[in-house]
Amino acid sequence: MLGVIVFAHGSRDPLWRRPVESVAQQIAGRDPSAAVACAYLELCEPDLPSAAARLVAQGATDVRVLPLFFGMGKHAREDLPVLMAELQQAHPGVSFRQLPTAGEDPRLTALLAQLALEGAA
């Protein structure tokens, strides 16, 4: 079973989470058979190990982690790979895969450029 974790930095402001949760809801809407969760690096719950444990308990055997970071900064480049290795150790029968950061996808940067130009009209 496919599992997807939408992973973001985290914030104490509850409104900050809305776009992250929206991405998770859209994933679940596109593939109702996938187990989907949000996870945060800090400042709010759940953390990545808790979200992964929940998906594994639901039967996920192939878990993809989508980092909602705009670029490949320290969190995506250094912190997340360590967390991914810890997940693999905690759940050896599960495949964990870190996807590229959201901002590395040229479709997202093209959409942002389009939104900026539409806003100028």
Residues classed as catalytic: 9
Neighbours of 28 (CB within 10 A): 15
Task: Count the residues in the chain.
Answer: 121
The encoded tokens of residue 113 equal 């450029």
Start-to-end Cα distance in the chain: 45
How far, in Å, CA of 70 to CA of 101, rounded? Answer: 6
